[in-house]
Chains A and B, each alone.
Chain A
Amino acid sequence: MSTTKTRDLARPAPAKASPAKPRRGLRGSPTFNFWLFTGPFLIGLAIFVYAPILWSIWLSFFEARFTVTPDKFIGFDNYTYMLTNDDFVGSLGTFTVFAAFIVPTTWALSLGLALLVNRLRFMRAFFRSVFFLPTACSYVAAALIWKMSIFSGVRFGMMNTVLGWFGVENIAWLVDPSPPWYWFVIVTARLWLQSGFYMILFLAALQNIPGELYEAAAIDGAKPGWQTFRYITLPQLRATSTAVILLLLIAAYQAFDEFFNLLSKTTWGRPPLVELYYKALGESQDYGAGSAGAVILTVLICAVTLLQGKFMGFGRGDESK
């Protein structure tokens, strides 16, 4: 009964205190306590996550326009429609390319920032905060700042003002798809917003690398800088890198806020979720087709994630391996 003893030690017991008796009934039952603590969360999860997912799967087999309680079963028609819909398939393709670009870029930038901040000898906390703070900013707010202030298409937009000093004509950053300047706006916004968070993950991992490794490497003749980074730091960050890439990949496919706010009503640069929003929740209100698209997207994300995990060995080892 270590718990009782600890309590007795922490708080002086009355002189005639009797030893604590095992509790009777439900309150003493570990099973009851387990459900007491996890039950509310499980109920919430069931109501707000699993039920909508199951409902969505159910809806995907029905003609469900302007209703979420449809009665017309149409089998796989919604799936056929979504998979033959240029815009939806195009959004999947576009975002595979986007993910292929943004994932390594963010990985490299956040790792670079972590290495930089880790080596700082002064104002370390300040710089960590500076790079981390954008993470606290709402994607919607950032998108509006990018759109209205920095990348506004008129002459008083910040970027156009700067370009104007060099005689460059105003650029309609987000309106004209050719050349596709909108990617520059989206990518800079996304890098600014998310790099700080992944920097913190890398920073934590960097601080877990034993100093002895570097000392041993130095004794063995390893040169500081690239050689040490290549053969010690990077392998030691393998598990963190895998996790970061996994998170980045999922985040790329779940992109919505900045795209929705920066590129309203375009047929390009639409991530799958924006495409699904317009299909299911926007003006079309086609919950059947939207649900089918959501199921397809979920399967795709799961497949890509599993493949990536298999390829990079996620879960096979920890930092030290």
Chain B
Amino acid sequence: MGLSREASKKILMLAMLLPAVAVIILFLAVPAALTLLISLTELDYRFQWIWCGLENYARLFSSPVLQLIVKATAIYVAGTLAFNTLMGLAIALISTHVHDALGTFVRAVWLLPRVLPSVIWALLMMWIFSPLEHGFLNSLIVRAGGSPVPWTFLYYWPFLFIVNGFIGSSLSGIIFSSAIKSIPQDYIIAAKLDGASGFTIVRRIILPMIKWHIAFFVAYNTLSLLASFEYIMLTLNGGPGFYSTEVMILHAYHLAFGQYMVAMDFGYAATIVTILLVVGLALSVIYWRVFRLRRLMIEPKLE
């Protein structure tokens, strides 16, 4: 006997929910707040809290590299986003219009780069597009009698769009495919009867009907790209040359952890991160409102 039903229900709920909530608070909410605090200090390798107010922010806004890293971030996000969205559309349109088995296969293999450890994907891309003669593409060119092309020196942005785009396109491909599959066949049959070509059907029926899915993907992907730097770090690491691909979050990483742990300028680095966090949170709130995300997030149960 003992406990009332209501009380035992409460205890059960609490006990089952508590671990998750504790983990989220301890490892995600607290660090977010801590980042803001660190950005107001001169915290460095000595790990002493020396408060300095907004000095770090003043330093950042007068920094000569600010313009470079903002520009790199804009190019990186816009380019990767374009690659992800267009490739996702191609995957979705093609895989839903061929035999179902082949279509499923196409979508499945595009998951491959995503599940590969990031290090292996980066290594593969670096080897294939290596500017040296032993790079895979260059070895083909040399064997055919041509001279090697310095791929990653000349075309560093397209290279990064490809490296990152292969990871993100599986997601857009799957989202768009399931959206296309849920379009009632009647519309398409009716259009065909009226003599519409395949191209017209895509442009006039399919694209307008999945435009919210596209907008949703673009919005959500922007957010995650803003703060992602793993594949840049693993490949060009901000180079070639001076800060050509140094995006904001990568710059923060270099300031904090640098190469071989020499930098450790945590206070200043946290400034950039705080700005990204604020932008990220603001964008999330906007998306939450615009896309009524809760509804959209339940939808993916289909399959």
Genuine A/B complex: no
Which of B's residues lie within 8 Å of A, judged by CB? none
